[in-house]
Amino acid sequence: MAGAGHGGPPAPVPAPRPRPGDLAPLLPADPSGIAGYRLLGRLGAGGMGVVYLGRTDAGELAAVKVTLADRAERADFRARFRREVEAARRVVSPWAVPVLGADPDAPEPWLATAFVPGPSLGEAIAAHGPLPGRSLRVLGGAVARALAAVHAAGLVHRDVKPGNVLLAVDGPRLIDFGIARAADPGGETALTGTDMVVGTPGFLAPEQAEARTGDIGPASDVFAFGCLLAHAATGRPPFGTGAVDALMYRTVHDEPDLVGVPAGLLPLLRDCLAKDPAARPTAEQLAARLVVDTPGTAADWLPDPVVRTIAERSARMLALPDIDATTAGTPAPPPATGRRRFLLLAAGAGVVAAGGAGWWALRGRDDRTDGKGAPPPKARRWTIGVQADLSGPGKEVGQAQERGVRLAVEAFNSRADKPFTLDVKVSDDRGDKTRALAAARALTADPDVLGIIGPSHDYTGQEALPAYDEALLPVVTVSAGLNLLVNPVQKQGRSVLQACPIHAFNGMHIAYHAQAVHRPSRPGLLQERTDDPYSWQFVLGAKFGFQQGGILPHPRVIPSGAKQLERVVGEMVDAGIDAYVHAGLLPSAVRAAKALDALGFTGPRYAGQHVLGDRFLRDAGRSAEGWTVGAPAADPTGRKEAAAFLAAHRARYGAAAPVWYAGEAYDVTLFLAQQVAKEYGKAGRRPDRTALAPVLRKAVHQGVMGGYSFDENGNLKGVGTFLHRVEDGRYRTLGAAPAAPTKKAGG
């Protein structure tokens, strides 16, 4: 959890906009390219920066937002820009604008998003009036699904308004995550003051209008969604227009003006516009209520005048000539001959709007030509990939690992002697096995990705193995302990390095600790079959560890879903167990803790890595006291070697300690980066990424969290399990688990 801070950034200053659809020419001082994007003109400019229309060598258009130099020097502004990038990357939906690239940590931070020359909903209504019934349902269904994706990523958009919805022939797109924030109201107060109203008056929820920070959440976006849909249906905002304070007052106290809304939409809009956030439906529920055939690639969901507007803007984009490189302060040379290649499926790829709360910019780097009017060759990137669950059930661990990777890349890039500069590319698999292979291929298919940190979960890692084995680039995981991720017999995981013990070893080392400290004679082992591969591997290792000390454990198994858990735990206590080892997931561990507490059991209690985290402390309450959890994650706050890492984490993410696995991800990222640098130094050129895994398996690295070395198959050598005991409602780290059993039980 991030610590609370004070104050926040100034309210965003909207950038002045050109006439809708116009593209302003580049100024002599503008760069000709930024980060591989050739710039064609200006989409918007203002006090915070410039947004350019850019084009890749393949003809893909993008809106490239760049900050002003004086803004980039401010830590709060840079943090806000970084937050926008991270928020936009976490939202995966066909109805939300995709991020094509970004570097919030560059000297001149930039963000590129897909571009489509469609009007905003606000522009369309102002020019052509309210939308008809089917248009409203398609609009509402798509925007509701986009918001559902925003909320699933743990975010609140906070500025859902007509200017932030773009219209394309295949459906609308939600844009601009400049003021999006975590759904946890206590998580980002350092960036948003508790007394600051953020958003657009007239499209704010009552809790936003009154700056009730603790009440702002996904339901606030639902209220704004209701305002947006009412505006689209009637051509006017539901709480009128006028002075800001009057708008705020009416939003909080008055009923919305819904005259002219189609009868079929009235119940839904009244539900969305309830004053009480708890009375509003969720975005997913809205999407279900707005089921309608999607537009596909046809434009018949939009009125003809809006379709003509899209066609006219598309034609203007197609007419753009090639733009040659310019140098600041000098005229641009004549355009080169030939037409650019431009692939535009009538606004189907994604959207972006010039103007609004998040449009900032600055001068980009000066890209020079070879003197003959031809653009310079596109520079190769040196990129570290991250595959993790960033928005699913394991997002806490996945997001912690992404933070560790980014901090390590910052540390590497800050070196004066660095031979190259690293970038980070993230692929969110949401913890979903069905998405894992595609998430992996999004990284392995990028020739600039030299290695991958992740995946963060066992089964997404297993499903991604075909992509890893095909690409043969190094993949280093710090939390996926499934033994099948490295399988030399079946020739799987040939480039995977597990910087964590497999689950069987985790259970074995926990059993060694129990013998060394508590000396049980009849330990109980409970296997939960909800996550059977994890549970049985953990039990197998624990059983072996006890048997090494001459101890015969008392094993029991419960069905999937932890049915009959309390009864089975009671039977184990009645059978005389003097220690309890839980081989299962967090929910069943909470129930087991409460059952043992109710039974008065005072013996030692153990669990594996799936239980580690604050949720166990919170959900089990006082019943968590005395439990020892073993996991491949150490506590950096107790390590003097991690002081610089902790300071960097605090500076970027807040005062709270890093979440588990952030430090380990930091270590292995620097391990990978340093080995790539060594190979570069040997050959004087970019190393072949398919040859890096064997090099890493032979290398030894001392990180801030400990040492790392691997066998020839990519398995971590040594223990790798750290023990954390719950005392007074928090974890106290005991250190690494023993590497071997005691010689004699009880001795």
Q: Is the pLDDT of residue 182 over 70?
A: no
Q: Between vectors from CA 238 to CA 236 and to CA 244, what angle results, nearest 5°? A: 90
pLDDT (average), residues 487-514? 91
Q: Is the pLDDT of residue 185 over 60?
A: no
pLDDT (average), residues 474-490? 88
67 beta partners: 49
Determine the pLDDT at residue 69: 58
Q: Are residues 165 and 264 in the same domain?
A: yes
Q: Is the pLDDT of residue 260 over 80?
A: yes
CA 517 – CA 534 distance, rounded (Å): 25
Q: Is residue 580 part of a domain?
A: yes
Domain final residue pick, 279, 305, 331: 305
Q: Are residues 468 and 551 in the same domain?
A: no
Determine the pLDDT at residue 241: 86
- The DSSP secondary structure of 48-109, one letter per residue, reads TEEEEEEE-TT--EEEEEEE-HHHHTSHHHHHHHHHHHHHHHH---TTBPPEEEEETTSSS-
Determine the pLDDT at residue 361: 29
Q: Give backbone dihedrals phi and psi of 137, rounded to 5 degrees, phi first.
A: -70, -40
Q: Is the pLDDT of residue 167 over 80?
A: yes
List the single range of 106-115, 255-264, 276-285, 509-518 with lowest mean pLDDT: 106-115
Beta-strand (E) ranges in 454-565? 475-477, 496-498, 523-528, 554-558
The total domain count for the chain is 3
- Which of the pair, 658 or 32, is modelled with greater confidence? 658
Q: Are residues 517 and 487 in the same domain?
A: no
Task: Tell me if 321 sits within 8 A of 270, measured CB to CB.
Answer: no
Q: Is the pLDDT of residue 355 over 50?
A: no
> What percent of the chain shows pLDDT beyond 90?
54
Residues 84-93: tens digit of each pLDDT: 787 778 888 8
Q: Is the pLDDT of residue 114 over 90?
A: no
Determine the pLDDT at residue 368: 31
Cα–Cα distances (Å) from 501 to 55, 320, 483, 539, 561, in that order, read: 46, 56, 9, 14, 26
Catalytic residue among 30, 103, 159, 176: 159
pLDDT (average), residues 100-122? 83
Q: Is the pLDDT of residue 233 over 80?
A: yes
Q: Between vectors from CA 391 to CA 386 and to CA 392, what angle results, nearest 5°? A: 110
Q: Is the pLDDT of residue 405 over 70?
A: yes
Q: Are residues 461 and 567 in the same domain?
A: no
Tokens of 530: 């909800």
CA 365 – CA 484 distance, rounded (Å): 47
Q: Is the pLDDT of residue 745 over 80?
A: no
The end-to-end CA distance of the chain, in Å, is 42
Cα–Cα distances (Å) from 379 to 37, 226, 448, 684, in that order, read: 11, 46, 10, 17
Q: Is residue 6 part of a domain?
A: no
Q: Is residue 82 part of a domain?
A: no
Q: Are residues 492 and 524 in the same domain?
A: no
Cα–Cα distances (Å) from 150 to 217, 239, 403, 713, in that order, read: 11, 25, 20, 40
Determine the pLDDT at residue 193: 39
The SS3 of residue 628 is strand
Other CB atoms closer than 10 Å to residue 518's CB: what's the count? 14
Q: Between vectors from CA 515 to CA 510 and to CA 520, what angle results, nearest 5°? A: 110
Provide the pLDDT confidence category of residue 192 given band limits of 50, 70 and 90: very low
Domain final residue pick, 260, 290, 305: 305
Residues 6+ apart with CB under 8 A from 409: 384, 422, 423, 424, 669, 673
Residues 575-598: tens digit of each pLDDT: 999 999 999 999 999 999 999 999
Other CB atoms closer than 10 Å to residue 162's CB: what's the count? 20
Q: Is the pLDDT of residue 414 over 80?
A: yes
CATH number for 156:
1.10.510.10
pLDDT (average), residues 586-613? 96
Q: Is the pLDDT of residue 335 over 70?
A: no
Tokens of 680: 């570069």
Determine the pLDDT at residue 18: 40
Q: Is the pLDDT of residue 381 over 60?
A: yes
Q: Is residue 717 part of a domain?
A: no
**What long-range pairs does 332-335 form, CB within 8 A, spacing at least 24?**
332/26, 332/28, 332/32, 333/369, 333/373, 334/373
Residues 520-548: tens digit of each pLDDT: 999 999 999 888 789 989 999 999 999 99
Provide the pLDDT confidence category of residue 181 given band limits of 50, 70 and 90: low
Is 103 part of the annotated catalytic residue set? no
- Which of the pair, 477 or 100, is modelled with greater confidence? 477
Tokens of 695: 């090099």
Determine the pLDDT at residue 84: 75
**Maximum pairwise Cα distance, the chain:** 89
Q: Are residues 276 and 170 in the same domain?
A: yes
Determine the pLDDT at residue 538: 95
At 625, the amino acid letter reads E
Q: Are residues 516 and 471 in the same domain?
A: no
Determine the pLDDT at residue 23: 77
Select from 388, 397, 428, 431 the least CA-distant residue to 662.
397
Q: Is residue 390 part of a domain?
A: yes
pLDDT (average), residues 112-130? 88
Determine the pLDDT at residue 226: 96
pLDDT (average), residues 389-408? 95
Q: 343 exposed, middle or buried (CB, 10 Å; 0-12, 13-18, 19+)?
A: exposed
Residues 273-284: tens digit of each pLDDT: 999 999 999 999
Averaged confidence pLDDT in the chain: 82
Select from 410, 425, 389 the least CA-distant residue to 653.
410
Tokens of 222: 């639902």
Determine the pLDDT at residue 357: 28
> What percent of the chain shows pLDDT beyond 70?
81
Provide the pLDDT confidence category of residue 728 given band limits of 50, 70 and 90: very high
Q: Is the pLDDT of residue 21 over 60?
A: no
Q: Is residue 116 part of a domain?
A: no
Select from 429, 427, 425 the least CA-distant residue to 393.
429
Q: Is residue 644 part of a domain?
A: no
Q: Are residues 626 and 676 in the same domain?
A: no
Determine the pLDDT at residue 347: 33
CATH number for 470:
3.40.50.2300
Q: Are residues 454 and 532 in the same domain?
A: no
Provide the pLDDT confidence category of residue 315 given band limits of 50, 70 and 90: low
Q: Are residues 468 and 542 in the same domain?
A: no
- Which of the pair, 61 or 147, is modelled with greater confidence? 147
- Which of the pair, 185 or 208, is modelled with greater confidence? 208
Q: Is residue 18 part of a domain?
A: no
Domain that holds residue 677: 382-501+663-703
The SS3 of residue 17 is coil
Q: Is the pLDDT of residue 690 over 80?
A: yes
Determine the pLDDT at residue 280: 96
Domain final residue pick, 305, 332, 347: 305
Task: Tell me if 690 sits within 8 A of 473, measured CB to CB.
Answer: yes
Q: Are residues 393 and 284 in the same domain?
A: no
Q: Are residues 287 and 141 in the same domain?
A: yes
